[in-house]
Amino acid sequence: MQHNKRGQSVTLNVTSMCKSFGRRQALDGVSLRVAAGEFLALLGPNGAGKTTLFQILSGLFIADQGRAEIGGADIAKAPIAALSQLGIVFQQPALDLDLSVSANLQFQADLHGIPRKEAKQRIAASLLRFGLVERARDAARVLSGGNRRKVELARALLTRPKLLLMDEATVGIDPASRMQIIADVKALCKEQNMAVLWATHLVDEAAAADRIIVMAKGRVQFDGLAAQLIENQGCASLTDAFLRLTE
């Protein structure tokens, strides 16, 4: 297991990753690391390459060059070992809207072979954590956007992943729900020593992270603390620094 400069174990290690679609270079030598227990924001404008990176990390695409390891397992060489450590919430909703909240969670548990007794305990704990106990029997389609997102997050966490990917996962939900979900994920990060890679184009979401990586045009433009980015760009705010770096 590799470690970062602080001696923390590295849960996600991406090295020199490249991916093209025809003539368009979506990823151009992207390298990044996320340590256990670290909340890393991947900030970038639309078209920066964030979604392509996530599609490779979730096994939907194969990189043209470079490598990615989750918990030391190479996604290309040992996909089952790598992906079994992964939880993901995509930008596009993926709940069965006709099933109840509980049934959506149970379906996910069955899919991953979690024994029924264990699944029942995990589902109950998730419903409690995300304030969904009273909505457990409601069909997903009657939930607000914020509560649907909480169900998707609860579902992604049922397998107790070492790495959680959030791909623009708060798009279209109200600011209060967004902030609540960020707070929940940050708390889980520390409690479960889980690594989180949170892709967003919303600067206020990135400001809550332990560390920020800024991507633009398929490349990493910055990797460090929010305060460093503001200082480097000579700006008064994170928003201004981000715009200056990516324009």
Domains of the chain listed by start with CATH number: 1-85+162-247 (3.40.50.300), 96-160 (no CATH)
* pLDDT band at residue 54 under the 50/70/90 scheme: very high
Confidence (pTM): 0.91
Helix, strand or coil, per DSSP, at residue 86: strand
* pLDDT band at residue 171 under the 50/70/90 scheme: confident
Residues 99-121: tens digit of each pLDDT: 999 999 999 999 999 999 999 99
CB-side exposure of 164: number of CA atoms within 13 Å? 32
Q: What is the pLDDT of residue 153?
A: 93
Average pLDDT over residues 74-78: 94
Q: What is the pLDDT of residue 165?
A: 95
Whether residue 156 has pLDDT greater than 60 = yes
Q: What is the pLDDT of residue 113?
A: 92
CA distance 20 to 100: 40
* pLDDT band at residue 201 under the 50/70/90 scheme: confident
> Exposed, middle or buried: residue 20 (CB in 10 Å: 0-12, 13-18, 19+)?
middle
Whether residue 239 has pLDDT greater than 80 = yes
CB within 8 A of 170, min separation 6: which ones? 149, 177, 178, 181, 182, 200, 202, 205
Q: What is the pLDDT of residue 135?
A: 95
Minimal CA–CA distance to 43: which of 167, 182, 186, 213? 213
Average pLDDT over residues 219-232: 94
Which is more confident, 91 or 77? Answer: 77
